[in-house]
Structures are given as C-alpha cells and as structure tokens.
Amino acid sequence: MPLLEVKGLSAAYGLVPALHRVDFHADPGEVVGILGHNGMGKTTLMRAIMGFVKVTGGEILFDGQSILPASVNARARAGIGLVPQGREIFANLSVEENLQVGIATTGVDIAATVAEVLELFPRLKRLLDRRGGALSGGEQQLLSLARCLCRKPRLMLLDEPTEGIQPSINDEIAETLKVLTARGGITIVLVEQNLDFIAGLAGRVYAISNGVLDRQIPREQLTDPRAVSEFMGFVT
Ligand SMILES: Nc1ncnc2c1ncn2[C@@H]1O[C@H](COP(=O)(O)OP(=O)(O)OP(=O)(O)O)[C@@H](O)[C@H]1O
C-alpha cells in the first residue's frame, strides 16, 4: 500500500486554480520527484499535503487514511514533515536552538534526538552556537532539513531544497539525502526545478505544469533536456 496517495487533488487561490486533479503516490521508502518551473504549483502541492492550503476537491490518503480533515499539527504528529521553500529557519536562534524548538513540546528526549540527527550533518555539528541568520543559504538548508528530521517524519516533503544554493552544497545535500534514504524508514516527495538534483535522487519523476500533474517522465529521458522541456510544457 502506498504511504501517500494523492487522488484528483484540486486547489485554488480564490477563483484562480493552482492545482488541477493531481494524481500521484509514494510507496514506503521511495523518493518521488516532481519537476516544474516557477509558478507551476509545486509549493501549493506541498502545502496542501501538509494542510496549509485548503483543497477544493480530491483526496489525500496517508497510510490508507484520509488526512484532509486533519490539522497541520495532526498531520505532523501522524508523521508528515515539510521542509519549506525558503527554509524558514529562526534567524535569531542558534543552530542548536533551531533544532530544539520543533520538538520542545513533543515529550521526546531533546538532547538525544538532536544528537542522533546531527550524526547526519557534520557541518552543522561544527556550527551549533552560530545564529541561524549568520549561516550561508546552503547551511540554512541543511539546518531546515535537520530540524524536520528531529520530528522523525515517515514522509518528508522537500520544497525546492536547491533554490539559490551553491552547487557544492547542493551535492552535500544530495549526499545527505542518499544516506538518509539508504537507512530506510523514510519516504520523500521532492519538488524541484533542478533536473540534475532530482534525477540523482528520485526513483520516479513527474512533471507539473500549470497545476496539472499527469505525466511521469521516464528515467531514461531525464538525461535529455529537450525531452524534459517537452514534459514540462515547453516545446523547444
Ligand atoms: N497565496 C497566493 N495567492 C494567490 N495566488 C497564489 C498564492 N500562492 C501561489 N499562487 C499562485 O498559484 C500558482 C502556483 O504557485 P506555487 O507557489 O505553488 O508555484 P511553484 O511551482 O512552487 O513556483 P515557485 O517555484 O515560484 O515557488 C502561481 O500562479 C502563483 O502565482
């Protein structure tokens, strides 16, 4: 059974449609990639799954249960975590405090959880006292990922993790995600504009264009920019 099943999902901002009958699923342990240009609906889709955007039609099943009636907090408790576009770390808190805040009220052993997550992030371990706002964009992205992982999500939604980040740190983020998925126990939905990043991580890749997600891009075509542009709604 898929861990996440999105069926006929639609969403709109007022009268303007943003998602139109989106269908896809993610099986346990899978990395599913969704490729799309600016304004195509990627963030709306991530935020709709997390519960921040009201949907106008369709269904979202997590572990076989509808999560549409559930609040954002209830979805987080059920095991869904969002790493938002723009990272949204707390600029005035230290790296360590950023990691602690999200789990402060969950009853877990905070120090042990943070230490366990930091094993995956050697770069952050060296920056624990640094203010979030003083980190580079790439370091902030690593922090945002680590903060999400402190909640031990079963499903992690990654919204454009490479946006505005240097290629060298993108490689580090990709490596971190590979180690994480190789350990098992986590499923990832990754939305991106960065073809190389998505092709290196995702087992299945879909294209989203103007809120429509109905085409899977065959793996062998991911190395062909022209074929990818066509899937993404551009004919070159
Ligand atoms: N709060 C909002 N109010 C009105 N329209 C919105 C809002 N947020 C997004 N939209 C519109 O919905 C569409 C999809 O936006 P969305 O942010 O989901 O796209 P995206 O693929 O994530 O793009 P980007 O990479 O630029 O973030 C766009 O046309 C956008 O202008």
Q: Is 16 exposed, middle or buried (0-12, 13-18, 19+ CB in 10 A)?
A: exposed
Q: Is residue 236 situated within a structural domain?
A: no
Question: Residue 125: in which H helix or E strand, if any?
Answer: helix 122-125
The whole domain housing 186 covers 4-231
pLDDT tens for the chain, 236 residues long, are 999 999 999 999 988 999 999 999 999 999 999 999 889 999 999 999 999 999 999 999 999 999 999 999 999 999 999 999 988 999 999 999 999 998 888 888 899 999 999 999 999 999 999 999 999 999 999 999 999 999 999 999 999 999 988 888 999 999 999 999 999 999 999 999 999 999 999 999 999 999 999 789 888 888 888 887 887 775 44
Q: What pTM does this model have?
A: 0.94
- Contacts of residue 229, defined as CB under 8 A and 6 or more positions apart, other chains included, come to 235, 236
Which amino acid residue places its CA nearest to atom 26 of ligand 1? Answer: 38
205 inside domain: yes
How much helix, strand and coil, in percent to the nearest 5, is found in the chain? 35, 30, 35
Number of the ligand 1 atom closest to the C-alpha atom of 43: 22
Could you tell me if residue 118 is inside a domain? yes
Residue at 24 is within a domain: yes
| Residues flanking ligand 1, CB < 6 Å | 13, 16, 18, 36, 38-44, 85, 160
Q: Is residue 127 part of a domain?
A: yes
In a domain, 126, yes or no: yes
Residue nearest to atom 31 of ligand 1 (CA): 39
Taking the centre of ligand 1 as the mean of its atom positions, its distance from the CA of residue 59, in whole angstroms, is 21
The amino acid sitting at 105 is T
Q: Distance between CA atoms of 44 and 54, rounded to whole angstroms? A: 10
Instruction: Tell me how many domains the chain contains.
Output: 1
CATH number at residue 21: 3.40.50.300
| Pocket test residue of 19, 35, 44 for ligand 1, highest count of atoms within 8 A of CB | 44
